[in-house]
Amino acid sequence: MSRGNARTAIGQPARMAVVLMAVAMFVAACGGSSASVSPSASTDTSCAPESLALKTAGVLTLSTDNPAYSPWFQGGNEGAEIWIGDYNNDPVKGQGYEGAVAYAIAEKLGFTTDKVTWIVTAFDQSFAPGDKTFDLFMNQVSIKADRAEAIDFSQGYYDVAQGVVTVEGSPIAGATSIAELKGAKLGTQIGTTSYDAIINIIQPDQEPAVFNTMDEAVAALDAGQIDGIVADVPTTFYMRDAQLSGGVIIGQLSGTGDGAEQFGVVLQKGSPLTACVNIAIDALKADGTLDALLLEWIGGSGSAPVIK
Amino acid sequence: MATGSARKGLLVATLSTLVVAAFVAYTIGSSPAWPEVQKAFFNGRYFSTSLPAVAEAFTINVRLFILAELLILPIGLLIALARSITTPALAPIRIFATIFVDFFRGVPSILIIYVLGFGVPALQLDGVPKEPFFWALVTLVLIYSAYVSEVYRAGIESIHPSQERAARALGLTRVQALRYVVVPQAMRRVIPPLLNDFIGLQKDTALVSILGVVETFKQAQILKAASFNFTPLMTTALIFLIITIPMTRLVDRLAAKDRNAQLGGTR
């Protein structure tokens, strides 16, 4: 009898204590986060393949997400074991703009094709704390100051411009100005700077729809749930040509492009490799390789009118 | 009565909790990678910047689970009653209800929301809504009605058959016996498990994010992807806890009250 009573009597405060402690731990966990200072990128410029600190010695481990989309990765996936399914591309082929740039960087670092391996890294995994499983991650990641607190970025290898694509019959199909896009229900993929472009440049009256993948945004546009998609310009062309029926390019948003936003290679925070990758990209810019690859994989897809 | 042992119990409980908490905190805190994890998941700056946006987006979740629960409770009961029909002529209703429950309990919610949310609007049928919120609501109502109907059914079947027989002996029809004798008693018993499912429903409102709706989880994901910092997700977790913990406590209390009532005064 008295044991039963005692248990109910202490049960309440004890539970309260646990809750309070949990809250206290959360608050404590939140405090003092500025205390840790990450080491700055190594200035050691010894970038010979044998002196690089790699995940696997002698092999450059490259990484991207799955699926790998055109025009960033191309060439299909015949014989692939990981990047399988229609419209997916095996990065091992070294085709598509990012695929080709990845191999060009590898070559400048001194790795022949057979000394390069590819692994899958989900977008969120690429910036999760802890040791990375890759040396370089390339997945159309835009360089931003906040993001650079979690990981290292190389210098940019692509100037991003944001574009708008829709389908025939959509209320914005004939739009030529940003004013005409304001009433539209626009959609994009989560984690993209396209979302920022919608919020900051178009400033629509309706909350944009934000999907987990661009495929779902395409499905929603096909189903008439949204009026248009904002994505980087090459992706809008790919959607028009391969994914949408009756796709229409509205144009490129003014204020994007011109180097305002760039894709960079993601590396582990403080990676000694970052400086070497930057040197490699510098060399690719100087010898015209980057321009040539741009023309080969993206330049041919046409140009979009600027929407003001 | 027994205040001495109660006080001693409280002291022991507090001490042991403190020791365990200190041990856990030390183990985590002494990990060499803790500063990095702390910066990525428990970052004060991102907590305070994400709180307003994530909290505002939570109103969508609240609207969703309240509307859904209001539909689930009656629909679930109807399905439970349909499944307990014994009249041979009405067998199709019972069979349909059984298939409904089997299907919506058996398929992962995320798949149902994909098919309904993207598939049905793509049919472009006139008069069929395209709003993702609508289809998220439909999905949650279908899935949770199936679960809740089983809770009701268990409750109905837990009422001793003698109750129904006594009611029938008094001249009530089977429907009347259910309506006035069995279901009211079953209701009292099923309130704790119903609340349990309600908590599950509240958390599952995050599924609507798949359809592009910027509810609290999606808002947190947007902020996370913009900054490459996971703290906004922790902010959302905290908001969910603020809502669900009081409800869990309420379930505990109701269950305890029910247990006491069953024991009929033997306290």
Q: Is the pTM of this model over 0.80?
A: no
Mutate to test the interface with B, among A25, A168, A210 (most CBs of B within 10 A): A210
Confidence (pLDDT) at A20: 52
Residue range A191-206: average pLDDT?
Answer: 91
B48 vs chain A: nearest CA distance in angstroms? 10
pLDDT over 60 (residue A41): no
* Residues of B with Cβ-Cβ distance to A137 under 8 angstroms: none
Residue A84 pLDDT: 86
The yes-or-no verdict on residue A42 having pLDDT over 50 is no
Nearest to A30 among B17, B42, B132 (CB): B42
Closest by CA to A121, choosing from A131, A130, A103, A134, is: A134
Does B21 lie at the interface with A, CB-CB under 8 angstroms?
Answer: yes
pLDDT above 60 for A26: no
What local confidence, expressed as pLDDT, does residue A182 receive? Answer: 94
Q: ∠A138-A141-A143 over CA atoms, to 5°?
A: 120
What is the pLDDT, as a whole number, of residue A198?
A: 93
Q: Which of residues 224-253 of B touch A (CB under 8 A)?
A: 224-231, 234, 238, 245
Give the residue, B27 or A44, on which the prediction is more confident: B27
> By mean pLDDT, which of A101-110, A165-174, B6-15 is the weakest?
B6-15
Q: Which pairing describes strands A152-159 and A262-267: parallel, antiparallel, or unpaired?
A: antiparallel
Q: Please give the pLDDT value at position A31.
A: 45
Name chain B contacts of A187, Cβ cutoff 8 Å. 212
Q: What is the mean pLDDT of residues B60-88?
A: 93
For residue B124, give the chain A residue with the closest CA: A223
Give A162-253's CATH code, choosing from 3.40.190.10, 3.40.50.300, 3.40.30.10, 3.40.50.10860: 3.40.190.10
* Smallest CA–CA distance from A223 into chain B, residue: B122
Residue A137 to chain B, least CA–CA distance (Å): 14
Q: Do A13 and B14 touch (CB under 8 A)?
A: yes
Q: DSSP H helical segments within B159-182, as ranges?
A: 161-169, 174-177
Q: Lowest mean pLDDT of A151-160, A257-266, B140-149, name the range.
A: A257-266
- Identify the pLDDT of residue B205: 93
- Confidence label for A87 from pLDDT (cuts 50, 70 and 90): confident
Contacts of B40 in chain A (CB under 8 A): 128-129, 150
For residue A236, the model assigns a pLDDT of: 92
| pLDDT interval class at B79 (50, 70, 90) | very high
Tell me whether residues A207 and B44 touch, CB distance under 8 A: no
Q: How many CB atoms lie within 10 A of CB A21?
A: 17
Looking at the domain that runs over A49-159+263-307, which CATH code has it been given?
3.40.190.10
Q: Given A6, A130, A147, which is nearest B2 (Cβ)?
A: A6
For residues A273-291, average pLDDT: 95
Q: What is the mean pLDDT of residues A278-301?
A: 89
Separation between Cα atoms, residue B76 and residue B254, nearest integer Å = 21
What domains are there in chain B, each with its CATH number? 45-263 (1.10.3720.10)
CB contacts < 8 Å between A and B, how many?
149
Contact between chains at B210 and A2 (C-beta distance less than 8 A): no
Q: H-type helices in B84-173, by residue range?
A: 91-106, 109-114, 120-122, 132-158, 161-169
Kindly tell me if the per-residue pLDDT of A97 is higher than 90. Answer: yes
CB contact under 8 A, B13 and A210: no
Confidence (pLDDT) at B125: 83
Q: What is the pLDDT of residues B215-260, one digit of tens each?
A: 999 999 999 988 899 999 999 999 999 998 998 888 888 878 877 7
For residue A39, what pLDDT is reported?
A: 40
Nearest to B9 among A9, A130, A207 (CB): A9
Which chain B residues are Cβ-neighbours of A26 within 8 angstroms?
A: 42, 234, 238
* Distance in angstroms (rounded) separating the CA atoms of residues B214 and B216: 7
pLDDT in tens, B147-202: 999 999 999 999 999 998 999 999 999 889 988 999 888 888 898 899 989 999 99
CB contact under 8 A, B218 and A190: yes
Q: Which of B129, B133, B122, B120 is nearest to B57 (CA)?
A: B133
For chain B, percent of residues with pLDDT exceeding 90 = 54
- Mean residue pLDDT of chain B comes to 89
- Mean pLDDT to the nearest integer, A273-281: 95
Residues of B with Cβ-Cβ distance to A225 under 8 angstroms: 121, 130-132, 212
Q: Is residue A230 helix, strand or coil? A: strand
Terminal CA-CA length for chain B: 15
CB of B122 within 8 Å of a chain A CB? The answer is yes
Chain A CB within 8 Å of residue B6 CB? yes
B6 contacts on A by Cβ (under 8 Å)? 5-6, 9-10
Give residue A308's pLDDT.
81
| Count of CA atoms in the C-beta half-sphere (13 A) of B134 | 9
Residue B68 parent element (H or E): helix B44-83
* pLDDT mean across residues, chain A: 84
Residues of B in contact with A230 (CB under 8 A): none
Q: Which residues pair with A142 in a beta bridge?
A: A263
pLDDT in tens, A219-272: 999 988 999 999 999 899 999 988 998 999 999 987 776 677 899 999 999 999
B residues 93-112 lying closer than 8 A (beta carbon) to A = none
Q: How far apart are CA A237 and CA A243, in angstroms?
A: 10
Pick A146's closest partner by Cβ from B13, B132, B228: B228
Task: Give the residue range(s) of CATH 3.40.190.10 domains in chain A.
Answer: 49-159+263-307, 162-253
Smallest CA–CA distance, residue A182 to chain B, in Å, is 18
Give me the interface pTM, i.e. the ipTM. 0.71
Residues from chain B that touch A216, judged by Cβ atoms under 8 A, are 118, 210, 212
Q: What percent of chain B has pLDDT over 70?
A: 97
Chain B closest CA to A174's CA: distance in Å?
22
**If DSSP codes are grouped into helix, strand and coil, which group holds residue B122?**
helix
- Measure A285 CA to nearest chain B CA, in Å: 28
Mutate to test the interface with B, among A170, A198, A212, A225 (most CBs of B within 10 A): A225
B261–chain A nearest CA distance, Å: 17
Cβ atoms of residues A53 and A208 within 8 Å? no
